[in-house]
Structure 1
């Protein structure tokens, strides 16, 4: 089953990346992805644009992605194993129909849905086989790492 965004924070995990250095690094990564597309540090990467849950302001974040069924994109709200979901997860939960991605020199309007149950399990096996570091992230925290499917918005 997919759809609802209902992933609670955990009680343990690594420190969530933050601060001036991370913002600078994210800007550099987004510039790289927009100019060169494709991969960053050996992983498929895209620029995820969401609408701030509280501010209503557009927020852009570089994230890794994995191919989903029917041409969709799968992203993981891992926050490197932090106890809390990343801010972009909450932004998507508030506005799942106002999400865009940039990759390979194009911008695509998408609808976001969180995967649950057997769908999530299949996607998780695919993701951890392709990028074992995600299994390590999940071991660091007691929350289930949300997997979000991004599907091209029609129209």
Structure 2
């Protein structure tokens, strides 16, 4: 099988399947956990990485700074996180989970596990690992500026 994407049939719908799967995953995840996916990503990162600046949260979640700010503000108001300016650089805001935030994570983690059992039902560990590798490769390809330049269509064509 060719690894050259130009060899793929023009009627390939893999990108549409990825989009449909993403939308279905987000919708089901939010129904299982009763939390918006952006808020979950912030909660997940803080629980698993510890306190972080909002800039680090953006980098590690793949979200833009505005999305992080919109997620963090209500989470702070609800008592799940605390924010404070970094003393050495007042341009940066440090974010950390409160006890209530850690408890929320633990409660939602059980719901996330149920979601994953549902979504991955009938798949073996090897299939899940293969899917993770393939999706990571797609993400890496799309983030590679050299590949983007190599495959970008000629605007005159």
TM-score by length of 1: 0.28
Larger relative helix fraction: 2
Larger relative strand fraction: 1
